[in-house]
């Protein structure tokens, strides 16, 4: 059986992290006798690294292109997931984001894995040959913030980000503590342009 090191992809925030992870993966690989154990998507693709990245340590005879995606759409209830969030602020903000993203994508919300609420679906092919389906846009309500997944290069939207309000960003992810911290109209514009790019 292959040995796997799982990472929560929502915590991978920048390109330097990928370099560090590849180095760590190779060190571990040498220790256990596995060649090039890291799988990381091509930086040339217009995809969200934070949602699609993980390290897999596996037998070198096994093709990485055949690795199963870690996050898939499920039949879990989005409503139940939101209702179970620990604070009223999280529940209110999540319902607001569902309404916004559903109105823009014209797609029903779907749970992708245990914590990502995604809208729509797009088919991705990586440089390794690996293929998978992924939501066009989505978000994940977390303990410290709302992680809103937009695009692989969020800095291209810097003029809008400058108008947004209090936030932080990753490579393709927007983090806000609460929706009241940001301008709702600017957020709507960001979601619209991200969806347009993703379809």
**Domains of the chain by residue range:** 4-66, 78-198
Q: In the Cβ-directed half-sphere of 120, how many Cα atoms lie within 13 Å?
A: 20
Which of helix, strand or coil describes residue 68?
coil
- Residue that has been written with the tokens 């090191």 in this structure: 5
pLDDT of residue 87: 96
Cα 92 to Cα 98, 108, 146, 155, 195, distances in angstroms: 10, 18, 12, 28, 23
Predicted confidence (pLDDT) per residue in 45-80, tens digit: 334 444 434 333 333 334 444 455 577 889 999 999
Is the Cβ–Cβ distance between 25 and 55 less than 8 Å?
A: yes
Predicted confidence (pLDDT) per residue in 7-46, tens digit: 444 444 444 454 555 555 555 545 544 444 433 333 333 3
Predicted confidence (pLDDT) per residue in 87-117, tens digit: 999 999 999 999 999 999 999 999 999 999 9
pLDDT of 121 strictly over 60: yes
State pTM to two decimals: 0.65
Q: Which class is 78-198 in CATH?
A: alpha beta
Mean pLDDT value across the chain: 75
pLDDT of residue 49: 40
């Amino acid at each position: 059986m292959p040995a796997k090191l799982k990472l929560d992809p929502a915590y991978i925030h920048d390109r330097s992290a990928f370099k560090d992870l590849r180095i760590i993966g190779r060190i571990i690989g040498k220790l256990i006798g596995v060649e090039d154990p890291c799988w990381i998507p091509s930086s040339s693709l217009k995809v969200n690294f934070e949602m699609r990245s993980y390290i897999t340590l596996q037998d070198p005879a096994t093709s990485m292109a055949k690795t199963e995606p870690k996050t898939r759409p499920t039949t879990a209830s989005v409503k139940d997931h939101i209702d179970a969030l620990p604070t009223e602020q999280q529940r209110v903000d999540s319902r607001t984001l569902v309404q916004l993203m559903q109105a823009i994508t014209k797609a029903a919300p779907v749970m992708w894995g245990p914590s990502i609420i995604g809208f729509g679906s797009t088919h991705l092919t990586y440089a390794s040959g690996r293929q998978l389906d992924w939501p066009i846009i989505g978000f994940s309500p977390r303990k410290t913030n709302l992680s809103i997944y937009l695009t692989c290069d969020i800095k291209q939207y810097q003029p809008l980000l400058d108008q947004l309000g209090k936030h932080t960003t990753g490579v393709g992810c927007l983090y806000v503590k609460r929706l009241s911290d940001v301008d709702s109209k600017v957020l709507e514009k960001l979601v619209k342009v991200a969806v347009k790019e993703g379809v």
